[in-house]
Structure 1
Amino acid sequence: MIRSVLGDIAPADLGVCDAHDHLFLRSPRLPGQELDSPVAATEELKAFRRVGGRSVVQWTPHGMGRRAGLLPELSRATGVRLVAATGLHQSVHYSQQLLDRLHADDLAALFVRELTEGIGESGVRAGLIKVAGGFHGLDAHARWTMTAAAEAHHATGAPIAVHLELGTGALDVLDLLCGDCDVPPHRVVLGHLNRSPDLTGHLQAAESGAYLALDGPSRSHHATDWRMPDAMRSLADAGFGDRLLLGGDTTTAGAQSVHGGPGMPHLLRRVRPRLGLAVGEELVEQILTVNPGRAFGVDWDRDLGSPHPVLH
């Protein structure tokens, strides 16, 4: 099942899915560009829905302005399924005070609580764990958060989605999560691979069994985005079409379509037809509808044994 903000749903109910995006996000690294407007979030989802979008997986983790309590009403009002995240980003996105508090607590327990009980007092449960690597490596913060994510995965089965800095460090991430921490590779989603157009590295990551998210077409300053269709075709030709995911990763207010940017609709208005020319419409449909259900679907009651509502 997919753990949406309105309850658990069947993977097939995701429909056309933006597998990595953001409705709300705040970071000291992006001053003045915060995603914190419920009105803008509503209009962005409506615009996405109008071009055929049916679900969005939000990768905004703990401490970055998720506004989880607003997500259920946004989902109801727009008809778009939403999946929230727990986890922790790179240390640069947090105050030292918050990091000190988290280090004093049990980080894995926090992740498990947000996956099974709810985020804060909202009652909204997360459906994935988001963590982040560094540029061509893993610092102590990344190793701490990924180890906690692995513990939370083993307790719940939740998938672990990984921000790869400029698309690098995928093999280091897999060595830690899958090698040292015994997370099954198919429970790992590697994000931003299109930002490092290294086909050999992509193939090595795919051979592990992990899911590969080529996301960020809303980021007009990423010069590698024009290579994404070729990367998708190469991976599909190598037999990894069932491991590919596509997302928009809208992280600033200026990138939203409601503020004149490409935003979430761009994924289906412009990226989808371009990918269709590269890999064929059938595979694009699989990437947008079938693969996200496999990547984010979990047997949530496997270990916990507690009944949860199932929505149809």
Structure 2
Amino acid sequence: MSTVTEPGRAGVRVRAVLGDVAPDELGVCDSHDHLFFRSVVLPGQELDDINAALAEARDFAAAGGQAIVQWTPHGLGRRAAELPEISRNTGVSIVAATGLHRAEHYPEGFVDGVRDRLAEIFVRELTVGIGNSSVKAGLIKVAGGFHVLDQHAQLVMRAAAEAHHATRAPIAVHHEHGSAADAVLDLLVDELAVPPSSVILGHLNRSPDHRAHRELAERGAWLAFDGPSRANHATDPWLMECLKTLVDQGYGDRLLLGGDTTTARARAATGEGPGMPYLLTHLRPRIERQLGKDVAEAIFRTNPARAFAVEWRG
């Protein structure tokens, strides 16, 4: 098992849109969310309104939030040039992403146009800037398939591993219905030599298999769970039990939590919610009551500071 990056080490930083920050300055963190997101599979629900994004981030800050990790990857409307202004206006640190989602999220022909230069794109966005901006990405977002890694997923993950080795950037993984996380570690860690402490496995509450979660934690990866959203609310009853089981097994230091707001309707400030603030107004108090304040502090502050901080190359 790889040693987890320690926030106190010299040179370790979280790459945010206003510049690299020390891990202990990240603060209370929403470890997986979206201020901007546009997908062809969600027509009419695009997150592309800067005023709505600003209002959502401001409400998150009012609830005590200090950092948002946006998992929106290359080609899905990240609005990277807008993120620094939101960060400055709200006081919330924002971490942007490079990477590539599942193929169905893109317009026809988009993936074919970038597949031969994915690693080059990822490295550039991590070290130079996204698009024409100077905003650097702070993580690589990739996606698996339903229970398997299809050809597209394997192509993107190999490019992500190459970019990781060039930069040391963390790799965050979308799992379809929470599945195939073991296959992701088989590929990224066992075959492509990415340290497990650099891999963040997302959406695991969508497959509330306690034994599988323990096996993933034993392999040294980060386990990321979603707060309620309109895309995955059916898994809400199992979220607390998933967290409790892992804490009881000694893996409270591997857990992350995010809101994963992917549609305009799911925003709190301008939609029906629950939105980003729900993590802190509802879920954090429940975690404190049921699992203890130390666990809540780890999930929202200590663990993100360790998961997203690296000694950057480039």
1:100 aligns with 2:100: no
SS at match of 2:142: strand
Counterpart for residue 269 of structure 1 = 281
2:14 matched to which residue of 1? Answer: 2
In the alignment, is residue 177 of structure 1 matched against residue 188 of structure 2?
Answer: yes
Matched residue of 1:298: which SS?
strand
Supply the distance in 2 between the matched residues of 1:221 and 1:198 (Cα, whole angstroms).
Answer: 16
Q: Which residue of 1 aligns with 2:229?
A: 218
State the one-letter code of the partner of 1:218.
S
Task: Name the aligned partner's letter for residue 291 of structure 2.
Answer: V
Quick check: 2:206–2:232 contact (8 Å CA) kept in 1?
A: no
Paired residue for 1:24? 36
1:196 alignment partner AA: S
Cα pair 2:73 2:97 within 8 Å, conserved: yes
Task: Report the equivalent of 2:144.
Answer: 133
Residue 264 of structure 2, aligned match among 253, 264, 280: 253
CA–CA separation in structure 2 for the residues paired with 1:22 and 1:40: 12
Alignment of 1:137-216 (within 5 A): 137-216=148-227
Please, which runs of 5 or more residues in structure 1 have no aligned partner? 305-312
Q: Which residue of 2 aligns with 1:308?
A: none
> For the residues of structure 1 that align with 2:224 and 2:304, how far apart are their CA atoms?
10
1:47 aligns with 2:69: no
Contact 1:217 1:271 (8 Å CA) reproduced: no
> Residue 283 of structure 1 is aligned with which of 275, 295, 304?
295
Question: CA shift at 1:96, angstroms?
Answer: 2.9
1:84 to 2:109 alignment: no
Instruction: Return the letter of the residue paired with 1:102.
Output: V
Unaligned runs of 5+ in 2: 1-12
Cα RMSD (Å): 1.0
Deviations 1:217-247 (Å, cap 9, x if unpaired)? 2337521112111111110111111100010
Give distance in 2, aligned partners of 1:117 and 1:131: 20
User: Shift of residue 289 of structure 1?
Assistant: 0.4
* Runs of at least 4 residues off by over 6 Å: none
1:192–1:216 CA contact under 8 A, matched in 2: no
1:219 alignment partner, SS class: coil
CA distance in structure 2 between the partners assigned to 1:219 and 1:17 by the alignment:
21
Is 1:110 matched with 2:121? yes
In the TM superposition, what is the alpha-carbon distance from 1:115 to its structure 2 partner? 0.1
In the alignment, is the contact (CA less than 8 A) between 2:287 and 2:295 conserved in 1? Answer: no
Distance 1:42 1:99 in 2: 30
Which amino acid is the alignment partner of residue 41 of structure 2?
Answer: R
Identity of aligned residues (%): 60
Structure 2 Cα separation of the partners of residues 272 and 239 of structure 1: 19
